[in-house]
Amino acid sequence: MVKVKTAGFNVLGDGDRGDFDKLFNEYFGRIQRKVSNISEMIFHLREYKKDGKREKFSLHTRIALPNKVIEADGFDWRFKKAVEKSFKKLEEEIEHRFHLKGHHGHRGKKASMAFGGESFEDLVSSFY
């Protein structure tokens, strides 16, 4: 079971909290497929109000694994966009740390020449 901790979410309205819950459920499934041994997720929200009328949101996300901590952040003028950016960066960082993307081998010219010009898929399908 994953413990989820939040900080700074008391400034949000009900609509933004609903958006966060929806995005959390969507991205948590993706993240859990990539890394299954998550012990804790920490979300730290900051709201910046300068002299203007708009707020800027910054969301720092941290995942605690048994032997690593993976962090990502996202910021935007819209809360929902800041959450999406943070989760996307977290996914990219997981893929980078665990080498999950782009390591399926290359079946280019050399591989096809080794099998007499036929592709590997054609050879495998001919055996079945």
Domain that holds residue 90: 3-127
pLDDT at position 79 is 92
Q: What is the pLDDT of residues 12-50, one digit of tens each?
A: 889 999 999 999 999 998 998 888 889 999 999 999 887
Cα distances (Å, whole numbers) of residue 96 to 70, 89, 100, 104: 11, 10, 7, 15
Q: How far is CA 97 from CA 35, 40, 52, in A?
A: 11, 18, 39
Q: Give the predicted TM-score (pTM) of the model.
A: 0.73
**Between 124 and 42, where is the model more confident?**
42
Q: What is the CATH number of the domain that holds 115?
A: 3.30.160.100
Question: What average pLDDT does the segment 5-11 reach?
Answer: 91
Give how many domains the chain has, as a whole number. Answer: 1
Type of residue at 29: G
The pair phi, psi for residue 10, each rounded to 5°, is -70, -15
Q: What is the pLDDT of residues 56-71, one digit of tens each?
A: 999 999 999 988 899 9
Residue type, 47: E
Select from 34, 17, 6 the least CA-distant residue to 90: 34
